[in-house]
Amino acid sequence: MQANARVPASRLPHVGQSPFIHITQLAKQHQAINLGQGFPDFNCDERLRQLLTEAIEQGHNQYAPMAGTSELLTTIATEQAQRYGKRWDLEKEITVTAGATQALMAAILALVQPGDDVIVLEPSFDSYGPAIELAGGRPVYVQLDPKASFAPDWDRIRQAIGPRTRMLILNFPHNPTGRCLRESDLRALEKIATETGILLLSDEVYEHIIFDQRQHQSLSRSDLLAAQAIVVSSFGKSLHITGWKVGYICAAAPIMAQIRKVHQYMVFSVNTPAQYAIAAHLKQPNLWPALAQFYQRKRDAFVQALAHSGFQCLPCEGTYFVLADHSRMCAQGGMDFIYRLIQEAGVAAMPLSSFYAEAPSPPIVRFCFAKQDDTLHIAAQRLSRLT
């Protein structure tokens, strides 16, 4: 670029470097155990890796159909029908995406117009706000109440919906709080959907990581909600393959037709051999109950290991994250405490403040327990020494 060339102004003036990237860089710099960013430090199933190799050797190396391979679309449609009772049309109502983040971005760009309001429940994942702003919309934040275990207050949410509201973004099981929806939440949401007609973008990437015999309350369970919903999920979270970037969207045909217009020019199609491998892998029995049990054991062991530390773990109903209150050691939240964690304990975490647009700084951090047992054991030992 020439020295006097003008740098184009960002369309996202309020967005800087993601705190997730920053904290991961700090963890590497200080050789700290990274319990901040949400990815496993263990490999995926060996059979899945073999299936990927087989798909490559069988020649599945060119563009997949834009909406996804018929094998994976059929698998998704079958599973949605079996788990939630919803029969999505696999030709018109399901699209395979390059991970959930791309799915969310495509949906927002397709459906949110300049001047539209979008309700976002805080704390929230950091990609929602920038995606809304990039579409020309305005995020309207409604905070979940930590004193009520971060349960959604449907009266407050209804009050936030106005004549310019286009969409409500939901994320359950919830990152970062681990909160799961109840059946009563679906009933309350049905009332809002009926009264307002707004779109419901439901980020359900942790749908299979849910604990203590709970049942995931997908918006796909309700025909009324499904008519206005865009349901997003991800194989990266559930199969320990975040780097493969394969997810999917389910939505009614008129809604999906608009999303596919963006998807087509955003990525066109998704990793072909990965789609074949995942479709074949999902045929094995007991996959999802075993996954939930796998992560529940990790949650329980990590929480127990911190029981006598300066951290007080909050309830975790799903996802592979647990929130921990550190007010007994430090009443101030935010990045200052994270720097201390990294430098003094050799462990990285995410401050809860990073999940708010205008950050309150509660003395709470998020730990990721999608790690090897030894990693979690060493991290808990280090954290327990902190005073």
The enclosing domain of 26 has a CATH number of 3.90.1150.10
Closest Cα partner for 138 from 374, 357, 372?
357
| 3-state DSSP assignment of residue 362 | coil
Asked if residue 41 has pLDDT above 60, the reply is yes
What DSSP string describes 204-247?
Answer: -TTTT-B-TT-----GGG-HHHHTTEEEEEEHHHHTT-GGG--E
User: Residue 7's pLDDT band (boundaries 50, 70, 90)?
Assistant: low
Full-model pTM? 0.94
pLDDT recorded at residue 346: 96
Question: Domain ends where: 264, 281, 298?
Answer: 281
Question: Domain ends where: 241, 265, 281?
Answer: 281
Are 240 and 223 within one domain? yes
Strands 33-34, 347-348: parallel, antiparallel or unpaired by DSSP? parallel
Instruction: Round the average pLDDT of the chain to a whole number and report it.
Output: 94
Q: 321 lies in which domain range?
A: 19-38+287-384
Are 189 and 267 within one domain? yes
Are 230 and 151 within one domain? yes
Are 277 and 344 within one domain? no
Per-residue burial over 217-234, b = 16 or more CB atoms within 10 Å of its CB, e = otherwise? bbbbbbeebbebbbbbbb
Q: Report pLDDT digits (tens) over 105-127.
A: 999 999 999 999 999 999 999 99
Asked if residue 10 has pLDDT above 70, the reply is no
The enclosing domain of 169 has a CATH number of 3.40.640.10
Closest Cα partner for 208 from 330, 90, 297, 83?
83
pLDDT recorded at residue 1: 43
Are 193 and 302 within one domain? no
Specify if 144 maps to a domain: yes
Specify if 369 maps to a domain: yes
Higher-confidence residue of 28 and 283: namely 283
Are 115 and 211 within one domain? yes
Specify if 344 maps to a domain: yes
Are 204 and 226 within one domain? yes
User: Residue 361's pLDDT band (boundaries 50, 70, 90)?
Assistant: confident
Asked if residue 270 has pLDDT above 90, the reply is yes
Specify if 261 maps to a domain: yes
Are 323 and 342 within one domain? yes
Are 148 and 257 within one domain? yes
Are 106 and 56 within one domain? yes
Domain count, the chain: 2
Q: Report pLDDT digits (tens) over 74-105.
A: 999 999 999 999 999 999 999 999 999 999 99
Query: Quick one: average pLDDT of 13-41?
Result: 81
What DSSP string describes 147-208?
Answer: GGTTB--HHHHHHH--TTEEEEEEESSPTTT-----HHHHHHHHHHHHHH--EEEEE-TTTT
Specify if 10 maps to a domain: no
Are 142 and 224 within one domain? yes
Asked if residue 144 has pLDDT above 80, the reply is yes
Are 213 and 255 within one domain? yes
Q: What CA–CA distance (Å, rounded) separates 384 from 364?
A: 16
Question: Domain ends where: 249, 281, 313?
Answer: 281
